[in-house]
Chain A
């Protein structure tokens, strides 16, 4: 019976982090099922889901903390939960946002979306230096369930945008089957 583990790691970016982490995973006999890695404020952040037939020896990652200064966590995932997970269905849309940076933009937007049962499937935000004040940018992908009036969502987004001084734009992602 396959077992699944999440591995998260963050630390000062430098060449060799992926090689070092994946070497440990390989030598422990685990298989990388899914992963995402990026640099946030100079920190190299990794999230991986790995699978193994046996337990994962967490001690194998200790050397990485010492050698590369990485903060690593390893947790076993609940297999039953993974098997039962149902992906929310709906139409993919993208919301992009640009405005003056201030606390509460992500909270305001995500509260609006969750109140309508809209699932966030991907999100990235960045603060970029502006002429006078920093500029906040965000691209977020959502799944809009059937039955939600998208015009109404757009209206509420505009209203929220006025409150937060952020320009939101919403568009459907066109999927071309070939």
Chain B
């Protein structure tokens, strides 16, 4: 296990379109472990995508229970090749990102999503998520397409905020 260095914007890996993972092997499982440890090394961090640690592959980890406890979420999820198959509603949340640590931004996303992905053993799973977990999934999925939360901050009002802590 290792804490990996987190890349910061404007590193090109953060703008890359990540490639699907062909095979779930020990290398991938080690990466998942390291990414989980890295996420947990940052207080308040509930998600980390592979390009943030320089790996341009379609996988991420999230654990919203780190913020809101065990209710209304699936806890730690390690997901490969994720695809959103359904989304509904709207929710604006203030998001921060380890790769752009200076800012927070108000971003509008779907309130509920259903995600289809592979777990770390290569089994297909479906994750119905709502609230913060749904937001975290969409934020991390965007990373896999080279999209950052600042790309989605609306120009209406003052929606990009300089981080104060």
Contacts and interface: CB of A to CB of B under 8 A. Distances in A.
Interface residues of B, number: 25
A124 to B, nearest CB: 7
Given A36-B158, A122-B158, A176 B46 contact: yes
A1 interface: no
Majority DSSP secondary structure for residues of B touching A: mixed
Interface residues of A, number: 13
B151 to A, nearest CB: 14
Given A87-B164, A89-B164, A89-B165, A175 B158 contact: no
Nearest to B62: A178
Contact of B104 (A36, A143, A175): A175
B152 interface: no
A143 B104 CA distance: 15
Contacts of A177: 42-46, 67, 96-98
A137 to B, nearest CB: 13
Nearest to A175: B94
A173 interface: yes
A143 B42 CA distance: 23
Contacts of A36: 158
B132 A176 contact: yes
A178 B136 contact: yes
B89 interface: no
B104 A178 contact: no
B82 to A, nearest CB: 15
Interface of A: 36, 87, 89, 92, 122, 124, 143, 173-178
Given A173-B94, A174-B132, 11 more contacts: A89-B165, A122-B158, A174-B93, A175-B44, A175-B104, A176-B46, A176-B93, A176-B132, A176-B135, A178-B96, A178-B149
